[in-house]
Chain A
Amino acid sequence: MTLPYVFLASSGALIMRLFHVLLVFAGFAIQAHAQTSSLTSPNVSANGLFLYRNSNFAKEDQSKERNGIDLQETELQVYADVDPYTRFNLMLSIHPDYEVDGTTHRVKETWAVEPEEAYAETNQVPMTTIRIGQFKAAFGKHNLLHTHAYPFVDAPLANSALLGEEGLADVGVSAAFLIPVNWYSEVTGQYLRGEGDNTEFNSATPGDAVGLAHWKNLWDLTDDLTMEVGASYAQGNNSLGGTTSLTGGDLTFKWRPANGGKRHSAILAGEYIGRRLDQPGTTTERGEGWNSWGQYQFAERWAALARYDHLQASGANATVNTNALMNGDTDKYSAGLKFLATEFSSYTLEYDYAYGTPSLTGDKAEHKIYLQANFTIGAHPAHSY
């Protein structure tokens, strides 16, 4: 993991520095909202995710995940037009990391501040958006979401296991072309550096990179109902000297009636990700997973959610790959209830049951309860549809 700045939680002075950074940005954000973007102050927003967690796995002393209340993540976002040709977007993520000390076997908390995204993109290229910088790769649908926009507290199993704990994100260039047909059809091509957090592509050879293609289509089936279909493919060399390829597909239906849409809406979605990781000298590691989930808004401020999630792996070999998957199947069931006080604050109560990946003591069934609070201040850009 790239950690430009790492603060040890044991240092009170460093925590205060972090707090001051937050205060400065928060004050800036409030001022920016009042004035909106101007020549001297870009749009600034901040988001805080606070989490209470209780899992039977996390009770074990050496688990990296801790039970109790936590600051899950804070995001600071700054964006504005650079000039008539370009706009710039910077998103910093501040979050705790937990590492198990190899000597004492105690869990240590460190704080990370890292650029989740930092990119410039074109304003004036017809039909195409060209982007350069660090960004979330256009692989599937969930990978593009920031943590505070996840429908559930956790990312799907396939996303966190096959694309990396924080998803597929890297430095590179991207071109997204809107095909001139009468429905929304966008083809995106991306060239990524193939370094950073994404161990599945972390080739040691300089110049090795990742190529990615994504095709997104959306139709209005009726005025109230849309259908989105996406397909993704990425390929690059991995740290073992082999090739890694990713395939993905997603399908989403969204319903919001023109009459009564403030109080009732629904989403039904599914996504598949497959990963083939060549390991020269031994068998190929294959991992694949899929999830399907639904959300029903039953009142102006309330929604219920449910998800089924599956991950399976074969050919994983921890002796040749330190980041190997765990062979076998994992199934996970989630149910949640969301209260949206306003568009700037929401609360989610979620229960997860997972069976498969064992804990440190070999227990295969995990029961987990989350209570998450989500707050946003400032001029936060709209989330994509």
Chain B
Amino acid sequence: MRILLLALTVFSLSAHAKLTVGTTTQDVEAVVKAVGGDEVNTFAVAKGTQDPHQIEAKPSFMVKFRDADLIVSMGLELETAWLVPLLQGSRNTKIAAGTPGNLELGPSLDPIEVAKGAVSRAEGDVHPSGNPHFQLDPIRLGKSALLIADRMGDLDPSHKDLFHANAEKFQKHMEEKTKQWQTRLNKAGVKEFVSYHKTFSYFAERFGIKNTLYLEPKPGIPPTASHIIQVIEDMKARKVKAVLIENFFDDSVRGKLEKEVPGVKVAKVAVYVGGEPSIKTNEQLIEGIVSTLEKMSK
């Protein structure tokens, strides 16, 4: 009888155990925390100071994946190289691709820059299914919260209403912040900026700022002298004065840009949550970029 009671107790505890949600980036983890609150345990693989294209599939993450109920990724081939070995190495059948325990956000968030026709690596490290860097678009982050709430609600129906209420609150807050950021950026008057990689495409599209000049000649290929000369000529011709360098990339071209482009301002910025110790939420991340652009316009 005691054994039966003990078994029932254990079953009861496990039935009400918190969901453990693993995410590929700290940005997605921040959304999961906003949706799940105290009812979920979370962990992230890539730190905000790391390039998420090139994370090593450390076996220690397989141990964390082994114990996870849900894995949420940004998707669109951003994490494929290291996420697949982590999923397989975890030997956790609950989180295999195509199961309820595996959620890829990107394809459901109206991706941009989807490749038209055949693609080749001669074009660099391209993402045929679309640009995966939606973490700088507050509206898509709001939508991602709803997707996460739906999936966590399926896995933990007892907290479904809470997850949805939190997601809607998060989405509404992001919509309000978007309006405020838009007003501030309009006032700052930044029309165009240069970046190292196509990290800001969603941000630029959302706030109506042009971002089509990149320091890398092709995605994933470090800057070459001839390409930087061309970028400098384009900046002069288009009177572009702002350069944002994602803070895990090399900024050794800064000196040349400052020397060759009159009045240029170059800033290294965090582009993922956790990219700076003080950036712990999605709002803080986007606020940091908006503030930087405001300062550059002065």
Contact = CB atoms under 8 A, between A and B. Distances in A.
Interface stretch (A6-14, A122-130, A136-144, A327-335): A122-130
B221 A178 contact: no
Interface stretch (B27-35, B91-99, B176-184, B256-264): B91-99
A34 interface: yes
B50 interface: yes
B250 A256 contact: no
A125 B91 contact: yes
Residues of A contacting B: mostly: loop
A226 B58 contact: yes
Interface stretch (A55-63, A258-266, A284-292, A303-311): A258-266
A66 interface: no
Interface residues of A, number: 45
Interface in A163-205: 178, 180, 182-184, 186
A154 interface: no
A33 B92 CA distance: 27
A165 to B, nearest CB: 28
B91 A262 contact: no
A382 B79 CA distance: 11
B118 A34 contact: yes
A228 B56 CA distance: 14
Interface string B96-127: 10100000000000000000001111000100
Determine which residue in B57, B59, B89, B121 has the highest number of CB atoms from chain A within 10 A of its CB, and name it: B59
B250 A126 contact: no
B222 A300 contact: yes
Nearest to B218: A342
B84 A33 contact: no
A261 B52 CA distance: 11
Interface in B114-170: 118-121, 125, 128
A186 B125 CA distance: 34
B130 to A, nearest CB: 13
Nearest to B222: A300
A344 interface: yes
A371 interface: no
Nearest to B98: A84
A384 B85 contact: yes
B63 A183 contact: yes
Contacts of A30: 120
A377 interface: yes
A126 B93 CA distance: 6
B47 A258 contact: yes
Contact of B85 (A127, A262, A381): A381
A128 B47 contact: no
A70 interface: no
Contact of A343 (B54, B66, B88, B222): B54
Contact of A183 (B51, B60, B119): B60
A256 B46 CA distance: 13
Contacts of A259: 49, 248
Interface stretch (A215-223, A234-242, A349-357, A358-366): A215-223
B207 interface: no
B52 to A, nearest CB: 11
B96 A344 contact: no
A220 B81 contact: no
Nearest to A85: B93
B102 to A, nearest CB: 13
Interface in A76-91: 84, 87
A5 interface: no
B220 interface: yes
A135 to B, nearest CB: 15
B286 interface: no
B58 A385 contact: yes
A382 B47 contact: no
A368 interface: no
Contacts of B90: 178
A30 B122 CA distance: 11
A84 to B, nearest CB: 8
A108 interface: no
Contacts of B11: none
A95 interface: no
A178 B96 CA distance: 16
A322 to B, nearest CB: 40
B121 A33 contact: yes
A126 B91 contact: yes
Contacts of A385: 56-59
A260 B125 CA distance: 20
A384 B88 CA distance: 11
A223 B46 CA distance: 11
Interface string B47-74: 1011100101111101100100000000
A129 B91 contact: yes
A262 B93 contact: no
A177 to B, nearest CB: 8
A378 to B, nearest CB: 9
Given A301-B222, A382-B81, A384-B85, A34 B128 contact: yes
Contacts of B81: 382
Contacts of B57: 382, 384-385
Given A125-B91, A344-B121, A218 B60 contact: yes
Interface string A127-164: 11100000000000000000000000000000000000
Given A178-B91, A384-B85, 19 more contacts: A36-B77, A123-B96, A124-B96, A126-B92, A127-B66, A129-B91, A178-B66, A183-B60, A184-B60, A219-B60, A258-B50, A259-B248, A261-B50, A261-B248, A262-B248, A300-B222, A344-B121, A382-B57, A385-B57
- A-B pairs with the 8 shortest C-beta distances? A184-B59, A218-B59, A220-B60, A258-B47, A382-B81, A259-B49, A34-B118, A382-B85
18 contacts: A34-B118, A34-B128, A123-B96, A125-B91, A126-B91, A126-B92, A128-B91, A129-B91, A178-B91, A183-B60, A183-B63, A186-B59, A259-B49, A261-B50, A262-B54, A262-B250, A342-B125, A343-B220
